[in-house]
Structure 1
Amino acid sequence: MPGYLKIEGVDKVFNGGAKVLGNVSLRVEKSEFISIIGHSGCGKSTLLNIVAGLIPATSGVVLLEEQEVNAPGPDRAVVFQNHSLLPWLTAYENVRLAVDKVFGGASSRAERHEWTLHNLELVRMAQAKDKRPGEISGGMKQRVGIARALAMQPKVLLLDEPFGALDALTRAHLQDQVMALQERLGNTVMMVTHDVDEAVLLSDRIVMMTNGPQATIGEVLDVSLPRPRDRIALATDPVYLDCRQRVLQFLYERHRYVEAA
């Protein structure tokens, strides 16, 4: 079966016996931007962590270019909601740490220096390269986290609600920046989000998860909007509005979140 990244029949049961995911299968093509959306507790981040190799699937398999994923690796870079920067290192040093780890045996010191600066420039953080995380804003920290991930030249970029903790304006700026970078670099991206508008704006396809336990893929929506995309122009675009409505309908009519009594 075709697919650059393949998730085949993945189940996940945690030690307490709770089956979080049940028979999840998905094909992702190279350079595709996929969003995974669903209610809290439906296993979105669990699925992303399985693809990252951070936790094992109970059954099923993840294949990247036909190679089984069973451990973390530089071919899959993760950006979390929490920026995960080392607070005692500068922005440059946080990115350089990943560059040295991945390319230390293949590139010279000068080449690694230039590559680190290049990736900071991609996210417009070269001017703050000597600042530590405590000296920059939340949005700037996430930019450094994205630069660190891109600097690894991963085959797949995994984003776990990377803008969830940011204010609305910063969030919009970073969404636009990630969209522009993905179009420029051709990254294969899988992103977990709760934000319907974010999913429609950024994605080629939106994967909608059913509620847990034993959550699975309920529906996959193609977002047939041309690129590049302009968020202002899309506000009244009928295709955008239809995609938004279909995701909302899935989330709030077919699979309402049921509060515990």
Structure 2
Amino acid sequence: MKPLVQVQDVGMKFDTKNGSFVALRDINLDISEGEVITLIGHSGCGKSTLLNLIAGLTLPSSGGLICNGREIAGPGPERGVVFQNHSLLPWLSCFDNVYLGVERVFGAKEGRAKLKERTEAALAMVHMDHAMNKFPHEISGGMKQRVGIARAFAIEPKILLMDEPFGALDALTRASLQDELIGVMDKTGATVVMVTHDVDEAVLLSDRVVMMTNGPAATIGEILQVKLAKPRNRLALAHDPQFAEYRAAILEFLYKKQLKHAA
């Protein structure tokens, strides 16, 4: 079956006052429908740059990207994005923040009742239906991220792109939202690409972990296939020797191969 997303010989460079800066080189990656991919690596390795290229927020300097059989030439509703900052509009309620995206994507072909139903279903999926009339300043950081995830899922994207969505949260809230995301992914069969710095998060959520070499001119160093049964339970995995092996493999790449290479 043809991959949902194809990244083909992609390179990315930026013009700076000190000359050209090469952020990425020779990136080749196929992402299948329903697959969960995490991008991990040290700061400056181009993880977010690659995510932004798939989102269509920036265009590559060389190579090309294809999503669902079409070249990625800009943002599109088939690619939902969740940022580290929830990016909710503060003057809108939780309901209206989600409804805004739903209306933009489906408003031309669906009536208000159906749009309202889509919005409420998305909020219920992340257990935020009880707070749909609250404003962002009235809810916690973790709840804001839930609304951001609901907003992304509500437009039914082919692929969900997440840039460290839990990075700014405390450990307990982050764990709770990771478990929430596992449940949502199981329900929807979503295709997900997520940037993370958290090794445990990468193993817990992923089908494959894409490990990036150090920048500048970063590329894909290794890809780890995670063959843990789904759905995954973090408490059970804490004592799973296979989980420990996957975790050790990522740590070895990041802190032995990459730091040794940098030295």
Q: TM-score range by the shorter chain?
A: over 0.9
TM-score by length of 1: 0.97
RMSD: 1.3
Question: What's 1:22 paired with?
Answer: 25
Residue 84 of structure 2 aligns with an amino acid whose one-letter code is: Q
Residues 43-99 of structure 1 show CA distances to partners (whole Å, capped at 9, x for unaligned) of: 000000000000110011111122100100110010000000000000000000000
Question: What's 2:5 paired with?
Answer: 5
Q: Which runs of 4+ in 1 moved over 4 A?
A: 257-260
Residue 179 of structure 1 aligns with an amino acid whose one-letter code is: I
1:101 partner SS = helix
Deviation at 1:2, TM superposition (A): 3.5
1:206 partner SS = strand
Question: What's 1:142 paired with?
Answer: 145
Cα distance in 2 for partners of 1:7, 1:182 equals 23
Residue 238 of structure 2 aligns with an amino acid whose one-letter code is: A
Residue 229 (structure 2) aligned to one of 226, 230, 238:
226
2:47 paired with 1:44: yes
Cα distance in 2 for partners of 1:88, 1:109 equals 21
Deviation at 1:256, TM superposition (A): 1.3
Question: What's 1:70 paired with?
Answer: 73
TM-score by length of 2: 0.97
Cα distance in 2 for partners of 1:220, 1:244 equals 13
| Unmatched segments (≥5 aa) in structure 2 | none
Residue 3 of structure 1 aligns with an amino acid whose one-letter code is: P
Residue 66 of structure 1 aligns with an amino acid whose one-letter code is: G
Question: What's 2:58 paired with?
Answer: 55
2:255 paired with 1:249: no
* Match runs of 1:107-256 below 5 Å: 107-256=110-259
Cα distance in 2 for partners of 1:237, 1:2 equals 33
Residue 7 of structure 1 aligns with an amino acid whose one-letter code is: V
Deviation at 1:257, TM superposition (A): 8.1
Deviation at 1:258, TM superposition (A): 8.5
